[in-house]
């Protein structure tokens, strides 16, 4: 009996050593019990995944997480894949500074030709001159050329890589260029880089200053596509690896309703926590190794571990602007560009990243806006 008491005391002391600042405020108190009467999501078996033995890695990145996303807790097992496009296709910060000027349209000019001659972005020229699709211009027309730094987008470049090169949050670039879903950049286009030139800071310093978040992955991870290029058709096999610089076709429409990704207890609520920290999703407590299933039909936009706080992470796009996010996974069973069905196994739960208990961090977003998943999931 004394040995059991000593073990319990040691466990309590170890729990008290976890810094409270690392613990999401809204995960502190168990609330909102998940309906126990509903059946668990349908788990689809995949022979390719079932016989696969994923690899581990113990190398650490600049965020203190291992290469497979372990963060503070555990390690993440992943399918073999190439580095994401923002790593495999880095960007050089070679934006051209364009002064404000006026351009007189010549015979045969198009808006794209004006952009190439001036060095400014065609979208920026259209906005400041109140041009609307199909952006017809006429000979002799006087166009205002807006000043700014404009980056020429090359093949395979992503918004994340561009923002890292300039040390500027991607969300600022999205706002400055009035970008909209599906946030796919076009090869040969010029996008406005807000703020001043980076000065003497090195490429490494600008990259280290950049902090990746979910919004970056949702809006800035797609590789640029040429005007004559068609996005790749999503694959149905986790072993058919889509090159990271190849854009894939995203769903246009949401098919069917959303379903719970796991059956468990909601222990972290959506919204501000007790200390005012905002939680963009919910946390569902489940044992390590619980199958996580896709909440709806869609295509995997991201599978990796580059956000240390969330550990093993999967992002799925469903169409109509809907995105779901699954964090803290211990094992990832799908690849970027893979088509999935509602109820299909996409990962196994874990305690990777910054979390005080095993479970699933689950988000739903409409466009760039996080919404409360509970309001969009069935209540039985």
pLDDT at residue 205, rounded to an integer: 64
DSSP assignment of 105-148: PPTT--HHHHHHHH-S-HHHHHHHTT--TT----TT-EEEE--E
Chain position carrying tokens 């004559």: 228
Dihedrals phi, psi of 218, to nearest 5 degrees:
-75, -40
Token representation of residue 166: 């300039």
Neighbours of 215 (CB within 10 A): 17
pLDDT digits (tens, 9 = 90+) for 301-314: 999 999 999 999 99
Smallest CA-to-CA distance from 344 within 279, 291, 293 is with 293
Dihedrals phi, psi of 210, to nearest 5 degrees:
-85, 130
pLDDT at residue 18, rounded to an integer: 32
- Low-confidence residues in the chain, pLDDT < 50: 1-72
Give the Cα separation of 352 and 333 in Å (integer): 15
Length of the chain: 380
β-bridge partners, 101: 145
User: Is 25 exposed, middle or buried (CB count within 10 Å of its CB: 0-12, 13-18, 19+)?
Assistant: middle
pLDDT at residue 311, rounded to an integer: 96
- Classify residue 87 by its DSSP letter: H
Radius of gyration of the chain (CA): 23
User: Is 250 exposed, middle or buried (CB count within 10 Å of its CB: 0-12, 13-18, 19+)?
Assistant: buried
Provide the CA 184 distance to its chain's centre, in angstroms.
13
Separation in Å, CA 125 to CA 128, 137, 192: 5, 11, 11
Let me know: does 172 contact 195? Beta carbons within 8 Å.
yes
pLDDT at residue 380, rounded to an integer: 52
């Amino acid at each position: 009996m004394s040995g059991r008491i000593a073990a319990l005391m040691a466990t309590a002391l170890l729990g008290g050593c976890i810094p409270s600042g690392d613990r999401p405020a809204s995960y502190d108190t168990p609330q909102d019990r998940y309906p126990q009467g509903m059946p668990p999501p349908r788990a689809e078996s995949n022979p390719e995944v079932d016989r696969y033995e994923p690899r581990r890695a113990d190398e650490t990145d600049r965020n203190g997480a291992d290469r497979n996303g372990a963060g503070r807790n555990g390690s993440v097992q992943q399918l073999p894949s190439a580095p994401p496009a923002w790593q495999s296709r880095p960007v050089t910060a070679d934006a051209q500074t364009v002064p404000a000027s006026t351009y007189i349209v010549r015979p045969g000019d198009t808006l794209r030709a004006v952009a190439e001659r001036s060095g400014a972005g065609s979208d920026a020229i259209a906005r400041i001159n109140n041009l609307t699709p199909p952006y017809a211009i006429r000979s002799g027309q006087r166009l205002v050329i807006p000043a700014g730094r404009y980056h020429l987008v090359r093949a395979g470049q992503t918004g994340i890589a561009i923002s890292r090169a300039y040390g500027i949050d991607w969300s600022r670039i999205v706002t400055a260029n009035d970008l909209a879903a599906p946030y796919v950049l076009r090869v040969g286009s010029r996008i406005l880089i807000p703020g001043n030139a980076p000065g003497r800071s090195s490429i490494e310093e600008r990259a280290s200053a950049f902090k990746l978040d979910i919004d970056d992955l949702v809006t800035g991870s797609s590789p640029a596509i040429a005007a004559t290029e068609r996005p790749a058709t999503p694959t149905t096999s986790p072993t058919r690896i889509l090159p990271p610089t190849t854009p894939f076709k995203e769903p246009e429409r949401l098919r069917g309703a959303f379903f719970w990704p796991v059956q468990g207890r909601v222990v972290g609520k959506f919204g501000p926590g007790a200390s005012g920290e905002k939680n963009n999703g919910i946390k569902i407590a489940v044992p390590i190794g619980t199958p996580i299933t896709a909440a709806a039909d869609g295509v995997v936009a991201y599978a990796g571990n580059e956000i240390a706080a969330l550990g093993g992470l999967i992002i799925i796009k469903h169409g109509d602007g809907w995105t779901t996010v699954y964090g803290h996974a211990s094992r990832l069973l799908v690849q970027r560009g893979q088509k999935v069905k509602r109820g299909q196994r996409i990962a196994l739960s874990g305690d990777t990243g910054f979390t005080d208990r095993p479970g699933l961090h689950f988000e739903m977003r409409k466009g760039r806006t996080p919404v409360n998943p509970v309001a969009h999931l069935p209540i039985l």
